[in-house]
A and B are shown apart, each in its own frame.
Chain A
Amino acid sequence: MTTTIWIIIAVLSLLLGYFLIQLTRDIIWNRKLNAFQEEAGVKIKKERTFFWLKRSYGALVSGVFLLATIFSLSLIDNEPNVINEKIILNAKSVHNEETLLRLTKDYKEGIGDRPWFDYGVKEDAQPESSLPPSSSARNDRDYIGTTTQVEGVDEGDVLKTDGYNIFYAPRYQNQIKVLSILDDGSAELTSEIDLKDTYVDALYLTDDYLVVIGYYYNYYPYYSEFAIDYNKPALSYGFRVVSYTGVISVYNKTTLELEYSLTTDTNFYEHRLIDNTLFLVSRKNTYDEEVRPLFITNIGATEEEKTYLNYKDIYHFDERRSYSMTVLTGLNLKDFTRNSQAFLGDVNLIYANDKHLYTTSTYDTFSIFSSKTKTRIVKYELNASEAKIKYLAVGSVDGYIQDSYWMDEYDNNLRVVTSSWSPVKNRLFVLKEDDTYDKLEIIGSITENLGEPGETIRSVTYHEDVAYVVTFLQIDPRYMIDLSNPKKPLILNAEKITGYSTYLHVWNKDEGSTEVVGFGYETNEFGMTIGYKLTAANDSKGISADYILLFNDKNSSWIHTSAVFDPKAIMVSPEYNIFAFPISVYSQGIYTNKYLVFTIDFNKENPDDIISEPLIIEQNPSTYYFPLERGTFIEQTGNDPFKFIYVFSNQGLIGYDLIKNEIGQILDFNN
């Protein structure tokens, strides 16, 4: 409820109280007057009804207004008071256009909390993961899939495989290469899907479908301010992007026919696939003339259906005004049923497991003397079988969350690491959903000694009741935190080595011993980054091994890899002992793109042998920059066994035969 409405109710209540007191006093005075006059034997003709009507007019009017205000508020705000058998205190449906416009169009910057605009404008998620990626067996073929944060929750990527086909969307080429993997392990380019103006954000694969999540820009011309007729394009002097349009295209995996499409008036910002249900998180700006999110669906040959989200499905948090809304959509890829809801407020990052979704938004609160960075976290329940998302609770923590890997849910408790500037301070919080109300409450925290003074967080990973937090200023303390008692998180130790990891992967966890593989930067004693570093460590056993790629070595003047900020560029499988990523080497005007495949074996007696020398799959050098974007691994067992690693750039594919230990195939997409 807004402050204005509270003020109106308070004023009306005061008026009603005043008029009632006055009326009571009038009654007392006039009764005494009547008694006095009767005692004196005088009877005065009085039109009492009219008099008392006039005297009670104020009380009546203010009472009616007060009741009307309360009644209309109860109509507006009484739903949904209970969701999931929980009393909802924070989220309320906007119900009508007027409320929605008030909470969006009237938004002014600088009033109230200020969201962080720059957060969440991201290509892909950042570092580290805790569990093995989705590696699944199908018949006699096995493969290493996309690196994901949570097992069983698939994340979209530009390359997807089911072991038999590989679907690859080269960046910014608006097409999908469809390759079939034959029984000898060779790849055959069978088809290309032309997406025209639609850029590919991510691909998903189900048993039946290829799902393409894309977007296209809406360009609008600038017109000269001196133009007389604004409709004359000749007077325009350029174009600007006003908005995105998000598109989901679902193709039959076998026939590659388009069977379903969903278009919205914003881009699909984040997404996860659980079983056969796609959960989509959109971020709609409310500057648009039509504030309600728009969905246009097209199933098969049916005519397109255009729908706006109902006002009752748009929620606000305690009248908090916002310039954007978070639109949540569950799309069942079996029958294409769709459920959507929207919540006013921004979304920067998401975390999802198979039961719950968390969205975060960072904002600054301002007081007279200081400002404070805080992050709102909203928890939703995911129902994959019905493709439904239900709001559960909201809470906030101090600091900002820079990466979705900084969050994790275990035993229904959300564990989250935050950082803040001025002064730099790192914290870990454990949040629990309240049983009765829609609140996320902090039940445990570490607010001190997480990082040396000035050290910021570089990567976080969780594995069950253990968290690893890497902070960095000049050296890399890797904190191991015991979360077995969520109410009393405990820092167990801090291993200090040079450099810092941006990606951590729990390789294996035995009783009392955890093997962790990290990838990130190597630094010198002054904290300056000098190269990339792969580390393998078991802190409990005191084992540590590393492999360093210096930025500048004898043969190269520059090395770059996207794996330090994009975990999906890393192919990782403890099952196959593989840790692989692409690098680009620039030397004397020539780019050489390589894919490094490391074997990691913690069973080696000599710690120096834990990380092997890398297998290098190298693309032909070029004067143009055509980086290797992704790699995948497919193994076939049985009569015709093969074991291949396929690496992709927008120029082509290289298939490396791991049995013959040689390049088995080079496929040029340009021929």
Chain B
Amino acid sequence: MIKIIWNRDDFNKVKDEISSQFNIEIIDDPNLVPDYKIGLLLNEENKEKIKTFIESLMYESYQVLFATTDGFVQINLKEINYFESFGDEIHMHLDKAQTIILKEPLYKLEEKLSHYSFTRIGKSYIVNLLKIRFIRTMANTKLELELINGQYLEVSRSFVKSFKNALGVQK
């Protein structure tokens, strides 16, 4: 059995969804868990599934602070499509065609986002792997990425290997 302790408010947001997918036992006895928490018990076989589910929830909720020319801005990672360096400026492209200019250099962003689903694909680009719709191979061993917003980015040859690593194609 797997035991999960969760914030009661957070759980309530996804209670219906999680109940429909998993056979869980909810523990809300104040003697066993604090008031603002809730306990979940589920079978071992659901371990991988619930892990993915929880990661998905985490991705939905990850927020990172970025330094802009006007101060700091907190952005949900799931809203970011890609970063682009444009001269001295770094453009952060978000959903709904929104762009924010950042003060942080690209290499720092790369380092900052390395634990998330972001990877460098060229001298000027960092892409969110979870925003790619399709990958197209090209004649000169480059790759072309079609993003969900319809934009196209190119993975230059020297970054194909790191792109593979990021996707887990090649370790």
Chain A residues proximal to chain B, CB less than 8 Å: 18, 22, 25-26, 28-30, 32-33, 35-42, 44-46, 51, 55
Contact = CB atoms under 8 A, between A and B. Distances in A.
B135 to A, nearest CB: 4
Interface of B: 52-53, 55-57, 59, 117, 129-137, 139, 143, 148, 167-169
A50 to B, nearest CB: 10
B129 to A, nearest CB: 6
Nearest to B130: A42
A557 B133 CA distance: 106
Given A32-B169, A41-B52, A46-B134, 18 more contacts: A29-B135, A29-B137, A32-B168, A33-B167, A36-B168, A37-B132, A39-B55, A40-B52, A40-B56, A40-B130, A41-B53, A41-B55, A41-B56, A42-B130, A44-B131, A44-B148, A45-B148, A51-B134
A42 B56 contact: yes
A36 B56 contact: no
Given A26-B136, A36-B129, A55-B136, A42 B167 contact: no
B154 to A, nearest CB: 14
19 contacts: A26-B135, A26-B136, A29-B143, A29-B169, A30-B134, A30-B135, A33-B167, A37-B130, A40-B55, A40-B129, A40-B130, A41-B52, A41-B55, A42-B56, A42-B59, A44-B130, A44-B148, A45-B148, A51-B134
A42 B56 CA distance: 7
A420 B143 CA distance: 64
A55 B52 CA distance: 31
A26 B57 CA distance: 30
Contacts of A44: 130-133, 148
B128 to A, nearest CB: 10
B62 to A, nearest CB: 11
A468 B125 CA distance: 90
A18 B52 CA distance: 37
B34 to A, nearest CB: 27
Contacts of B132: 33, 37, 44
Contacts of A40: 52, 55-56, 59, 117, 129-130
Contacts of A30: 134-135
A44 B143 CA distance: 20
A29 B117 CA distance: 16
B59 A41 contact: yes
A33 B135 contact: yes
B51 to A, nearest CB: 9
B137 A25 contact: yes
A25 B143 CA distance: 10
A256 B55 CA distance: 111
B167 A32 contact: yes
Nearest to B52: A41
B115 to A, nearest CB: 13
A203 B144 CA distance: 82
Most buried by B among A22, A29, A51, A55: A29
A35 B137 contact: no
Across the A-B interface, give the 7 residue pairs with the lowest CB-CB distance, nearest first: A41-B56, A29-B135, A25-B137, A42-B130, A41-B52, A32-B169, A32-B167
Contacts of B55: 39-41
Nearest to A26: B137
Contacts of A32: 167-169
Contacts of B167: 32-33, 36
Nearest to A35: B168
Contact of B52 (A25, A28, A38): A38
Nearest to A47: B133
Contacts of A41: 52-53, 55-57, 59
A32 B145 CA distance: 13
A23 to B, nearest CB: 9
A51 B148 CA distance: 13
Contacts of B52: 38-41
A55 B144 CA distance: 12
A409 to B, nearest CB: 60
A29 B145 CA distance: 11
Nearest to B170: A32
Contacts of A42: 56, 59, 130
B38 to A, nearest CB: 21
A91 B171 CA distance: 59
B139 to A, nearest CB: 8
